[in-house]
Amino acid sequence: SAVGRGPEVPFSSEAYRISAISRGKELRLTLAPLGPAAPQDLVFRFGMSGSFRLCPAAQLPRHAHLRFLTCESPSRALCFVDARRFGSWRLGDAWQLGRGPCVLSEYQAFRENVMKNLDDKAFDKPICEALLNQKFFNGIGNYLRAEILYRLKIPPFEKARTVLEALKDQEQARRKKNPSLTLSKKLKLKRENPDLLELCHTVPMEVIAADKKLFDPDHSDNYAAFKNWLQCYLVPGMSSLRDRNGRTIWFQGEPGPMAPKGQASRKKRSQLKEDPKALSPKVTTRASKRCPRAAAKPLKSTEEEEVADRPRKGRARGKRKATTASALSEPEAPVKAKRSHWASARKGRGEVGSP
């Protein structure tokens, strides 16, 4: 599309097949012509909102940045749709450098890669931040880390190395306690008492097994099923903090010893999940008294903030501009009167003109 940020795809064929394979957070498409031409590979990253959709070519969805057309009549289009344009694609078949084994398809290699590199400085960080490091946890994202830590009752800001080194002790204790267990009984014990690395594999598998259209925003019932599956992420009653990368982590209980200083934990209000159509509570502030029109607007929910969960560079400046604009839209007289009264009070104290 004209607004797509990806490179042009130098591929043309009257008839071709598309096959796909995924690894962690990447997907590789292979376009294989049915004639003598050479195949073309593309590797996609989806960002926060990227997805593929098959739809009539005459009814393309908005933000369909790349389209593969069928030769039937009427034609259909397989579209890479990305409203926020955080997703991307590149030419070639190479996976991105620096990504470790996939938590889904390469579980044993993934586990070994973590356990043999515990002296890496990446594990000096809190476990919630380490779980987003794709060098070791290729495929784990923001909602998955919250769900994994919640199930094990691990504070998100516990040191990653402390959490992972404990797995060695747990494994040795299992072997000493039951040296004569059969393989089937060992597997049963693991299913009943999974550790953190095992949940990095099984929790994403639950999502995959649940429903192919689980995240489709055009099917509200499917998205509702995903929200019902969540136990921690965006769930009412859970607390949240921003990690050092600006990403929000949801949790229950204490945050842990490495929690950011000077940041108050926020709690998700139950009203937002139980009754999303309910009116937001009325909040009276100085700003709302000066700007009644702005006060009439519903508050932005924590869930909406989470969708745009990225580092907040330049965000405060935008907020100041928005506040100024809304203030200017109101009559000036009451505001000037208040300011005059405030200035008079300061003048009486000898404060006017002070820095």
Predicted local confidence at residue 29, as pLDDT: 96
Our measurement of the distance from residue 333's CA atom to the centroid of its chain's CA atoms, rounded to an integer in Å, reads: 45
Cis bond before residue 74 (omega within 30° of 0): yes
| Side-chain-side CA neighbours of residue 176 (13 Å) | 6
Low-confidence residues in the chain, pLDDT < 50: 271-289, 292, 294-355
Contact 168, 71 (CB under 8 A): no
**Exposure string for 240-278, b = 16+ CB within 10 A, e = fewer:** bbebeeebbbbbbeebbebbeeeeeeeebeeebbeeeee
Q: 234 and 149, same structural domain? A: yes
Q: 159 and 83, same structural domain? A: no
Predicted local confidence at residue 324, as pLDDT: 40
Is residue 231 one of the residues assigned to a domain? yes
Secondary structure letter of residue 102 according to DSSP? B
| Side-chain-side CA neighbours of residue 296 (13 Å) | 4
Position 123: which residue type? F
Quote the number of domains for the chain.
2
d(CA 97, CA 85): 22
> Looking at the chain, how many residues does it have?
355
Predicted local confidence at residue 185, as pLDDT: 59
Q: 115 and 81, same structural domain? A: no
Q: 211 and 74, same structural domain? A: no
Q: 54 and 147, same structural domain? A: no
**pLDDT per residue over 40-98, tens digit each?**
999 999 988 888 999 999 999 889 999 998 888 999 999 999 988 889 999 999 999 99
Predicted local confidence at residue 180, as pLDDT: 67
CATH number of the domain enclosing 34: 3.20.190.10
Residue 15, CA distances (Å) to 80, 85, 203, 274 in order: 19, 29, 39, 50
Is residue 303 one of the residues assigned to a domain? no
Q: 161 and 49, same structural domain? A: no
Predicted local confidence at residue 85, as pLDDT: 87
Is residue 210 one of the residues assigned to a domain? yes
Interior CA angle at 62 toward 57 and 67, to 5°? 45
Is residue 68 one of the residues assigned to a domain? yes
Is residue 71 one of the residues assigned to a domain? yes
Q: Which residue, of 229, 258, 287, is where some domain finishes? A: 258
Q: 70 and 130, same structural domain? A: no
Predicted local confidence at residue 30, as pLDDT: 96
3-state DSSP assignment of residue 192: helix
Is residue 138 one of the residues assigned to a domain? yes
3-state DSSP assignment of residue 180: coil
d(CA 208, CA 222): 13
Q: 114 and 87, same structural domain? A: no
Our measurement of the distance from residue 200's CA atom to the centroid of its chain's CA atoms, rounded to an integer in Å, reads: 15
Q: 114 and 245, same structural domain? A: yes
Range of the domain at 149: 107-258
Residue 112, CA distances (Å) to 53, 107, 115, 150, 243 in order: 36, 9, 5, 23, 26
- Count of Cβ atoms closer than 10 Å to residue 307 Cβ: 12
pTM: 0.69
Is residue 219 one of the residues assigned to a domain? yes
Is residue 341 one of the residues assigned to a domain? no
Q: Which residue, of 207, 234, 258, is where some domain finishes? A: 258
Task: From 6, 56, 10, 14, select the one nearest 33 (Cα to Cα).
Answer: 14
Q: 78 and 197, same structural domain? A: no
Predicted local confidence at residue 216, as pLDDT: 59
Q: 30 and 57, same structural domain? A: yes
Q: 237 and 176, same structural domain? A: yes
Q: Which residue, of 207, 241, 258, is where some domain finishes? A: 258
